[in-house]
Structure 1
Amino acid sequence: MGKFELQGNRFIWNGQPIRILAGAIHYFRIVPEYWQDRLLKLKACGFNTVETYVPWNMHEPTEGRFEFGGMADLVRFVETAGELGLHVIVRPSPYICAEWEFGGLPAWLLNYPDIRLRCNDSVYLEKVDAYYDVLLPKLVPLLCTNGGPIIAMQIENEYGSYGNDKAYLTHLKEGMIRRGIDVLLFTSDGPEDDMLQGGTLPDVLATVNFGSRANEAFAKLQEYQPDGPLMCMEFWNGWFDHWMKPHHTRDAESVAETLREMMDAGASLNFYMFHGGTNFGFWNGANYGDRYEPTITSYDYDSPLSECGDTNEKYDKVRAILSEYSNEPPIPVPPSLPKRAYGTVELTEQAPLFGNLERLSRPVQRVTPEPMERLGQYEGFIVYRTRISGPRTQGKLTIQDVRDRAIVYVDGSFVGVSERWDPQTFMLDIPEEGAVLEILVENMGRINYGPQLKDHKGITEGVRMNNQFQYDWTIHTLPLNDLSGLTFADANQQPLAMPTFYRGTLEITGECADTFLKTEGWTKGNVWINGFHLGRYWERGPQQTLYVPAPLLKQGDNEVVLFELHGAKRPIIEFLDRPILGD
């Protein structure tokens, strides 16, 4: 057993002062086979603690059904860290932000029309309590008070950036304690008056999050907590990327200067991120400032350990500084994992989406084009179909409040695209016999931060011809979590201009290695390798390759499936031995 506690302005571990030097590594963004490699590189850099969020939506994807295996095996991740001699800080939700889908909240919460998120709402708290009843007992045996590696746990996350409901925070705190969490509890917020006023609790350690001007941030923290230890719970040493924006980088020397400032102040700290990983599948989130901005598949974050686990200049500078403040001898840095360029693969089979709808989804009839959540769907795509009567000349088609990207077809012909951040209307001539209208909508990730958090997907209001709402819809939900029903045919032509699945085979001889799938020449879509959903690609960048960890591959034949929304120059992909992120 271990004892981690506060004494005045110091952290104490088993009776001795300790400075917490932590780095964020999210188990849910890394294949489990690589957890040990990333944790060893954290330790070799000079850190003594790993920090992780816990995404509620991954662990309870549908209400009452819980997942704690594979990439969701939180217990195994914490145990692995402990076996390597690392302490663990857990930030167990319900909300995590993290540029993760819906900030970690499960989308099925939106099935409750009157629910109020992140506050003392009885419906919301009932769902949180049911989740905690399952999650927290898994963590109790891993607490340092029970001989495990977990030394501290967070209450909510940056709550002062969202609200000021102290009754809500108190409910979470008391619920954690009541379920056996007896380690140090803390909150984390930005170093601003309103955030520290709204997000902290009496007798709970407050920590602050920032990327620079450490002494200013700590001075603000001390105005509210004059006697506690200084702790930066999120040192933003890099940043995340949105589609259609340049790749973010931060100079390694700038990171080193802020790190030294914190070390000279005697502070404890947590690098956010030390290693970012990947938003596999549909797990990326989105932001909403002036407009909706979805996050890319890579969560490289320009962190000291890259998306594929390689060290870099930032890693070297951080390791050098930490060694100056340590009495422990450095341990060797594990080598980079092998990379391999497998070359080009021709995708020789095609399965058009609209020819396979009935194999992927059972249609439902609705009066209006309902959003995904009301149909029990939480990710992927959705198709809305209706018939427009004719004749009509130059009728204006409007999709009212689409979330997030709609592709419009009339009688099977492409009409145009309307995007949430760039809504379009379309002038249509409908013949006397009428026409079939089909709208394919992509959920590009729910908002993970800020007041726009409640983010339904699909068509959330309606579809109009001029001012006339159109009713009587056939809807196909397309979560795309099972592609086994697709019927592929040999492709004897160029890629289609319609949404189509393409399939090919990557043949591997010898040992499997990490690789990077280059999507140049393709427009927009998703990729699966051996049934594992790698994530999204888009020619608008900045990401131009998708990371493929070696454990997803096998010797011999590997199935590659692309779901392309618009078409490609030629049905070929390429596997490189390096990533391309940005220009």
Structure 2
Amino acid sequence: MPTFEIGERDFLLDGRPMQVISGALHYFRVHPEQWADRIRSARLMGLNTIETYVPWNFHSPEQGVFVTDGRRDLGRFLDLVAAEGLYAIVRPGPYICAEWDGGGLPAWLFATPGVGVRRAEPQFLAAIARYYADVLPIVAKRQVTAGGPVLAVQVENEYGAYGDDSPEQRSEYLTALVAMVREHLEVPLFTVDQASDEHLAHGGLPGLHKMASFGSRAAERLELLRRYQPTGPLMCMEFWDGWFDSWGLEHHVAPVQTNAADLADLLGAGASVNLYMFHGGTNLGLTNGANDKGIYRPIATSYDYDAPLTESGAPTAKYAALREVISRFAPVPDDVPPPARPARPAPVLDVVLGRRVPLAEALPLLGAPVTADHLPTMDELGQWTGFALYRTRVTASDGVLSVGEARDRALVSLDGDPVGVLDRALHQNAVALPARDGVLELLVEDQGRVNYGARIGEPKGLVGPARTAVRDLDAWEVTPLRLGDDPFGETLSEPLAELLRVSPDGVAGPAAPAPGTAFFHGTFETEAGADHFLRFDGWTKGLVWVNGTLLGRYWSAGPTGTLYVPGPLVRDVNEVVVLELHGTAAPVLQFVAEPDLGHTEA
């Protein structure tokens, strides 16, 4: 029977020392038809292992639901890793961070009164046990001991960075997780924490192998890790070779030669490594997370991460440099991927979106209103992501609207006329109202649930109290907007799509501005199966679907200037739908030859 063990000095594969040279590749950020290509590129760079997180909420959008097909076919992904001759490391959480919505924790979980967050609370532990019972058998049959690729599995994630529980409480929680994992798995288990005394001291558990995450000063960080892991192999489980992007900030890049030098230090010291990321991919749909360390920052749709393999699968200068470093310590294949994928620029064309349907006209197809005698959150209504439309009546004497907090952004209008914006990132929770009676509407967007820190698990929508200058507002009608037919909101609602197809041309012309919140529809012909890059010059903020699949969010705030359209989504004749929240200078989209990830700090 094959074995993988943690020895006194080395990882031992079938009793022989193994230096793990791994790369992070998240199946949930890559189209399934591209998994094999990305895995092959990892092998050609010299990697011997693929690491992936498993997001609980990606598989379980509603309580009692667990989906493992299509984009969620973890078993198929691991089988493709094995078919390429590579090993795998799996990190199933329950919490993963990963700049992913809620850090992978399902929003529905926290709607239960009294449920804990990352602690040994009975309801939380019971939910994790059910999750593990669903996901870990997929991993178990693919353990190396069963002839599969999976070498090891992580317990929790960067737990030393979370909360202020006592050492006893932390131990109780991690011990409970280990016991549940061990009901299914026999491969080695480990923890990962950031390379600081505080995090390494607070995040581990005796008997679990400790690993660290860092992106520079490798020798210093390995020395620190050794103080907390006196025996056994050292491993940097997240070697940060780039960084993620947040809306409104710059596109992050990491110097190639600095990455290469640090990787050489790591491997030269005999340590194992997991490149985070090898290939970043895309936060498709509404899956991006957010950070809030005093300022709320939603994560961008692109998760390119300045990784060795670009969002569209092209090897970079970083790929070549890190491959050369790896070749000093391990054999690399003779063949290498082509210098760019696709080998020629992506198709270039403009698409006029000639059909326009204001949100108000589409509203009857998107959901039924719910009345409430208080200001309900989206979570109270079972709306775990996306949008909700809040309505109430105001009078000429009200003067101002104030809410406790908008989570995360609300477009405010009175009888259809724009009034202002409530914006969590800007701490804007009040707006002046016109001096007239009317119906006040707030279109609220969940821009991504916090994935790191104390605000994990908080509800979305409008958080009370809601007041005007003269009174409390306690009579509300709220419509959760169901834009998709599936539980994940990934596919465009077919009734909405049909409405858009049959609507008469609703724009004045391809050069005319189109104000207000509305859906736009158009078709285009192009090369089937080819990757495309979709540009939004003149548009403001919203969502886009290609052939019914939600690509994600766009925003003029940047940094991202294009959205990646994976080739498997593209046909000879295609349909594109845009939900624009504010208005566009012209209802025209541009497909361009290359991606534009935005300006950098330099």
The SS at the match of 1:290 is coil
The SS at the match of 2:265 is helix
Q: What CA deviation, in whole Å up to 9, does each residue of 1:12-38 have, x standing for no partner?
A: 111211100000000000000100110
Q: Is the 8 A contact 1:11 1:229 kept in 2?
A: yes
Q: Paired residue for 1:228?
A: 232
Q: What CA deviation, in whole Å up to 9, does each residue of 1:541-574 have, x standing for no partner?
A: 000100001100112x211000000101111001
**Greater displacement, 108-117 / 410-419:** 108-117
TM-fit CA distance, 1:138? 1.5
* 1:267-416 superposed matches below 5 A: 267-327=271-331, 329-333=333-337, 336-338=340-342, 339-388=345-394, 390-392=395-397, 395-416=399-420
Distance 2:332 2:440 in 1: 68
Change over 3 Å in CA distance of 1:401–1:367 after alignment to 2: same
Match of 1:167 among 169, 172, 181: 172
Answer yes or no: is 1:428 the counterpart of 2:443. Answer: no
Q: Paired residue for 1:507?
A: 525
Answer yes or no: is 1:472 the counterpart of 2:490. Answer: no
Q: Paired residue for 1:498?
A: 516
**Greater displacement, 69-78 / 156-165:** 156-165
Distance 2:338 2:106 in 1: 36
The SS at the match of 1:356 is helix
Q: Paired residue for 2:2?
A: 2
Match of 2:445 among 442, 447, 459: 442
Distance 2:561 2:482 in 1: 24
Distance 1:309 1:329 in 2: 18
Q: Is the 8 A contact 1:46 1:330 kept in 2?
A: no
- The two structures, once aligned, show a CA RMSD in angstroms of 1.4
Distance 2:506 2:11 in 1: 64
TM-fit CA distance, 1:497? 2.0
TM-fit CA distance, 1:113? 2.8
1:43 maps to amino acid? R
Distance 1:429 1:291 in 2: 29
Q: What CA deviation, in whole Å up to 9, does each residue of 1:501-521 have, x standing for no partner?
A: 00000112x543101000111
Q: Paired residue for 2:191?
A: 187
TM-fit CA distance, 1:252? 0.2
Distance 1:405 1:479 in 2: 18
Percent sequence identity is 44
TM-score (norm 2): 0.94
The SS at the match of 2:525 is strand
TM-fit CA distance, 1:328? 5.2
Q: Is the 8 A contact 2:514 2:585 kept in 1?
A: no
The SS at the match of 2:577 is strand
The SS at the match of 2:584 is coil
Q: Is the 8 A contact 2:315 2:338 kept in 1?
A: no
Distance 2:257 2:73 in 1: 36
1:484 maps to amino acid? E
Distance 1:193 1:247 in 2: 30
**Greater displacement, 296-305 / 63-72:** 63-72
TM-score (norm 1): 0.97
Answer yes or no: is 1:481 the counterpart of 2:484. Answer: yes
Distance 1:320 1:396 in 2: 62
Answer yes or no: is 1:238 the counterpart of 2:256. Answer: no
1:491 maps to amino acid? G
1:578 maps to amino acid? E
* 1:114-125 superposed matches below 5 A: 114-125=114-125
Change over 3 Å in CA distance of 1:329–1:241 after alignment to 2: closer
* 1:43-122 superposed matches below 5 A: 43-122=43-122
Change over 3 Å in CA distance of 1:111–1:91 after alignment to 2: same
1:356 maps to amino acid? A
Q: Paired residue for 2:566?
A: 549
Q: What CA deviation, in whole Å up to 9, does each residue of 1:168-222 have, x standing for no partner?
A: 111111111112x000110000122221122111111100000111111111111
Distance 1:209 1:27 in 2: 21
Q: Paired residue for 2:465?
A: 462
The SS at the match of 2:433 is strand
Match of 1:560 among 576, 579, 584: 576
Distance 2:191 2:92 in 1: 12
TM-fit CA distance, 1:454? 2.3
**Greater displacement, 332-341 / 377-386:** 332-341
Unmatched runs of 5 consecutive residues or more in structure 2: 486-492
Q: Paired residue for 1:262?
A: 266
Unmatched runs of 5 consecutive residues or more in structure 1: none
Distance 2:223 2:351 in 1: 57
Distance 2:196 2:472 in 1: 46
Distance 1:264 1:81 in 2: 26
The SS at the match of 2:141 is helix
Distance 1:566 1:518 in 2: 17
Q: Paired residue for 1:206?
A: 210
Distance 1:454 1:134 in 2: 22
Distance 2:536 2:293 in 1: 29
TM-fit CA distance, 1:492? 3.7
Distance 1:214 1:383 in 2: 50
Q: What CA deviation, in whole Å up to 9, does each residue of 1:361-391 have, x standing for no partner?
A: 1111111221111111111111000112x34
2:381 maps to amino acid? L
The SS at the match of 1:259 is helix
TM-fit CA distance, 1:495? 4.7
**Greater displacement, 335-344 / 6-15:** 335-344
TM-fit CA distance, 1:484? 2.2
